[in-house]
Structure 1
Amino acid sequence: MDDRRPQFAWMLLARAGALAMGILASIVVARALPPEGRGTYYMAVTVATAAMTLGHLSVDQAQTAMWAREGQRPYLDANSLPLGLVIGSAAAAVAIGLGLVFQGSANVPDISLLATACAGVPLGMSVFYGTNIMVLRSRTGVAGRAMLASAVAQCLCLVLLGLTGHLTVQTVVIAWVVSMAAPLALLIAAGGVTVGLPDLGVAVATCAKGLRLHAGSAAAYLLLRSDVFLLNALAGPREVGIYTLAVTLADLSRVAVDVLSQVTLSLQFDGDVSESAMVTARIVRFTVLLGVASAVTTVTAVSILIVPLYGHAYAAAATLVGWLVPGVLLLSAARPLSNFLLRQRSSRLVVFPSLIALVVNVGLNAVAIPIWGAIGCALASTVAYGTLVAFQVTYFRRVSGLGWTCLLPTSVETARFTMEVKHRFKALRIGGVP
């Protein structure tokens, strides 16, 4: 594998900046809104995010699967913006329609709030497609700046609204929509998204390929968010407000791992299947090491800082983070396996594991939430994530011919990683430069 450390460092810096902005934004929201208000805001945004994820037709996965054909790459690039706007608008319209149907039941937010949130769907979908193209082209700098632009825009809006006394559930949702527009503007300005006439033939082929993979993509999203919908219906906005904060904080443990997976994605599409499998196994070993270190750091930091930063009303989120992090660690560390299976162009390898894990998640949540509330929700999600990863490891073994032990860090790699962490930590403590 060639040296991807500069790209990793830049993307990690961008994610860290976005993370800092996101934490500040979540603190502002938590201090201004009670758990019930945060739960209402989060549900409106979750509906919009669901429209974006369930309605994107897995075009991003189709882009990735088709990227190996170099002749199609310019057309995949040019199609990302128009496809995002058209498909995103259709998905937003469906979400608003469903909101009208279920208005007044299952704690569904007000339709005006849903419509406001859904205005960000076509913008966010365009960013999603465009950023994926940037990662495939190894233009991580543009992708990183877009990520920062989103976080900065949202944070500035929230701080400004807070200082002027206009921070309400409605304005917080508007700030989220602005955070979808800002990265799209940056992608276009930086040449990260090509503005021009789309190629209809490639667009149809991309959508057709994506649709074959979409059941797995939709199931993967519902695996991550069905717990929120069930918790909202069975326990109400207050539990959602606390639980979703825990989810946000638990996701911090996957930041570095996701960055590593992003910057090494293109390496998994070089060479034949055998070479790709070896590269994938090596990447997974490093994601496991990085994930364990991130998980321990996240749980420790959250347990110490949750009350000082967010207040006593959100203290229960610290316990939930402890139950969520193991599942998040498994899911993020196994992301390269998902990329490898996607390369095989077999929808069964991608769709079936996600569908099984989704069924497990919904079933366990339906049983656990009435008994244990948000803690049952966290436990069910972690078990479901583990189920998905178990299937991915099994399929990886069958396709690659490699044993599952090749995915575990060796003693030499662990020792090297530990020494590197100690060296970096020591440098930070003395204020030096590693």
Structure 2
Amino acid sequence: MPPPSLARGAAVNLAARLVTVALGLAILFLVARRGPAVQGAFALFVAFESLLLTLFSGLGLLLARQVSHHGVRPGPLLMALLGAALALGTAAAVPLLGAAALIDAEPYRHLGLLAMAAPFLLLVPTASGLWLGQGRMGALNAPLVAAPLAVLALLLWFTDGELAGVLAVLVAWVVGKSLVGVVTALVAARQTGWADAERDTLRAQWRFVAVIGLTNAVSLLNYRATLFLLERTVGLAEAGVYSVAVQVAELLWLLSSAVTVSAYHRIGAPDALQAAHTTLRAVRINVLATLAAAPLLYLAASALLPRALGDAYDGALLPLALLLPGIAGYAAASSLSAYYTNHRGRPQWSAAIAAVSLALTLAIAAWSVPRFGAAGAALATSLAYTASIALALTWFMRDTGLPWTSLLGIDAARQSPPT
């Protein structure tokens, strides 16, 4: 079955992500209403989970690249990668248990929950590489919707409509996502015919997997470093307020993610010129859409956040306003990263851009956070995002050999990018 058109695929992705956002906002409402400190602990715990997932995200992206770029039969590789996900998740549980034993503070004392769930949490991003490489948007998005739905159902069931504290929230989170992980892996294996595992590709491409994991870990730290810095500097409660601003601002990336995921199959095509122009088209759509949506998002947040979450979250509005310009500009990063990872097979290029952004964020935040708190964290993030995406676009245009007019959709000189 051929992949859907870019517009149709983006529409499917956007629809699924809107459902996911609605579920995520429901979870946010239940957690944040218990106070900024509970919200801060939850945000930090989820950041640890995200780091775990990103470190091993290369498993799924290897499968996607082998399917879309090399046209391999996915079943044998899928089984090998699912086995690797279980093994790596089990290994990752050891340092998490150690941290839980050594740190007697929220949410670090509860990292044992994450340790027990770690092998199962890795199954969704690994199995989803099958559908990402095939361009099957419906199958790709099903577990992304199912996970927050399961978490929300467990939250309500565990607490009978009222949260009992941080522990109840975290148990619902890890149990719901683990159940979806197991089901997703079983569905993917069944669709590919329960083939015998083929580990040769994984052995040959382990550097690719490792570099992607490190790249995505640097990117995640780029997104979350200010949250940890804020918690260490001014406390868990202000970090909780800031995490709400971050979560709302990153809703803009729903648009860019929907476009990039639908274009991922085409960006990975062997034809270098096609891949480069598809990437630029996605960049244009992503940046224009997020810039248009940013002021609307701020107006909606100004009207709804204090009413929905309480007066304690009035302080999220200024950081949100400062975050939105950088978040909108950084929407181009997902498509550029897909080009270097899926087409060029050089994820380290994306890592370099993320590392530059992280370094800039920390350098600015070291000065701004002690002085301005959450607003300083937002300002540092926005400035770093803007500078790093300008560097990334310059790098991409030089690497592909395309003229800058191509960024505007004007093909003044159609030069073939390097292979």
TM-score (norm 1): 0.86
Deviates more, 1:222-231 or 1:60-69: 60-69
Q: What pairs with 1:70-219 in structure 2 (closer than 5 Å)?
A: 70-71=71-72, 73-101=74-102, 103-104=103-104, 109-111=107-109, 113-163=110-160, 165-191=162-188, 197-219=196-218
SS of aligned partner of 1:70: coil
Kept in 2, the 8 Å contact 1:295–1:326? The answer is yes
- Asked whether 1:9 is paired with 2:26, we answer no
Where does residue 23 of structure 1 map in the other structure?
Answer: 25
Q: What pairs with 1:231-242 in structure 2 (closer than 5 Å)?
A: 231-242=230-241
SS of aligned partner of 1:167: coil
For structure 1, list consecutive stretches of 5 or more residues without a partner in the other structure.
411-434
After superposition, the Cα gap between the structure-2 partners of 1:164 and 1:214, relative to the gap in structure 1 and judged at 3 Å, is: closer
Q: What pairs with 1:17-416 in structure 2 (closer than 5 Å)?
A: 17-31=19-33, 33-53=34-54, 55-56=55-56, 58-67=58-67, 68-71=69-72, 73-101=74-102, 103-104=103-104, 109-111=107-109, 113-163=110-160, 165-191=162-188, 197-342=196-341, 343-408=343-408
For residues 396 and 31 of structure 2, what CA distance do their matches in structure 1 show? 42
Kept in 1, the 8 Å contact 2:78–2:197? The answer is no
Count of aligned pairs:
404
For residues 148 and 111 of structure 2, what CA distance do their matches in structure 1 show? 21
**CA displacement, residues 364-419 of structure 1 (integer Å, 9 cap, x when unaligned):** 22221111111111111112222331232122111211233432468xxxxxxxxx
Deviates more, 1:321-330 or 1:182-191: 182-191
For residues 202 and 135 of structure 2, what CA distance do their matches in structure 1 show? 22
For residues 249 and 206 of structure 1, what CA distance do their matches in structure 2 show? 37
For residues 76 and 279 of structure 2, what CA distance do their matches in structure 1 show? 28
After superposition, the Cα gap between the structure-2 partners of 1:319 and 1:192, relative to the gap in structure 1 and judged at 3 Å, is: farther
Where does residue 415 of structure 1 map in the other structure?
Answer: none
After superposition, the Cα gap between the structure-2 partners of 1:57 and 1:151, relative to the gap in structure 1 and judged at 3 Å, is: closer
Kept in 1, the 8 Å contact 2:329–2:389? The answer is yes
RMSD, matched Cα: 2.4
User: Which amino acid counterpart does residue 370 of structure 1 have in structure 2?
Assistant: P
After superposition, the Cα gap between the structure-2 partners of 1:132 and 1:331, relative to the gap in structure 1 and judged at 3 Å, is: farther
For residues 240 and 136 of structure 1, what CA distance do their matches in structure 2 show? 37
For residues 75 and 205 of structure 1, what CA distance do their matches in structure 2 show? 15
**CA displacement, residues 28-54 of structure 1 (integer Å, 9 cap, x when unaligned):** 1112x111122122222322322332x
User: Which amino acid counterpart does residue 235 of structure 1 have in structure 2?
Assistant: V
4+ long deviations beyond 6 Å: none
For residues 158 and 304 of structure 2, what CA distance do their matches in structure 1 show? 25
Cα shift at 1:23: 0.7
Cα shift at 1:302: 0.6
User: Which amino acid counterpart does residue 309 of structure 1 have in structure 2?
Assistant: A
Percent of residue pairs identical: 24
User: Which amino acid counterpart does residue 8 of structure 2 have in structure 1?
Assistant: P
Cα shift at 1:270: 2.1
For residues 406 and 36 of structure 2, what CA distance do their matches in structure 1 show? 44
User: Which amino acid counterpart does residue 208 of structure 2 have in structure 1?
Assistant: K
For residues 312 and 248 of structure 2, what CA distance do their matches in structure 1 show? 16
After superposition, the Cα gap between the structure-2 partners of 1:212 and 1:249, relative to the gap in structure 1 and judged at 3 Å, is: closer
Where does residue 415 of structure 2 map in the other structure?
Answer: none
**CA displacement, residues 211-231 of structure 1 (integer Å, 9 cap, x when unaligned):** 244443221111111111211
Q: What pairs with 1:420-431 in structure 2 (closer than 5 Å)?
A: none
Kept in 2, the 8 Å contact 1:142–1:190? The answer is no
For residues 64 and 404 of structure 2, what CA distance do their matches in structure 1 show? 25
For residues 99 and 195 of structure 2, what CA distance do their matches in structure 1 show? 33
For residues 161 and 394 of structure 2, what CA distance do their matches in structure 1 show? 55
After superposition, the Cα gap between the structure-2 partners of 1:256 and 1:164, relative to the gap in structure 1 and judged at 3 Å, is: closer
Deviates more, 1:201-210 or 1:317-326: 201-210
SS of aligned partner of 1:334: helix
User: Which amino acid counterpart does residue 233 of structure 1 have in structure 2?
Assistant: R
Cα shift at 1:258: 0.7
After superposition, the Cα gap between the structure-2 partners of 1:334 and 1:407, relative to the gap in structure 1 and judged at 3 Å, is: farther
Kept in 2, the 8 Å contact 1:52–1:91? The answer is no
Kept in 2, the 8 Å contact 1:64–1:136? The answer is yes
Deviates more, 1:370-379 or 1:191-200: 191-200
After superposition, the Cα gap between the structure-2 partners of 1:20 and 1:213, relative to the gap in structure 1 and judged at 3 Å, is: closer
Kept in 1, the 8 Å contact 2:158–2:172? The answer is no
Where does residue 426 of structure 1 map in the other structure?
Answer: none
Kept in 1, the 8 Å contact 2:40–2:239? The answer is yes
SS of aligned partner of 2:5: coil
TM-score (norm 2): 0.89
For residues 188 and 338 of structure 1, what CA distance do their matches in structure 2 show? 26
Deviates more, 1:292-301 or 1:400-409: 400-409
For residues 110 and 280 of structure 1, what CA distance do their matches in structure 2 show? 40
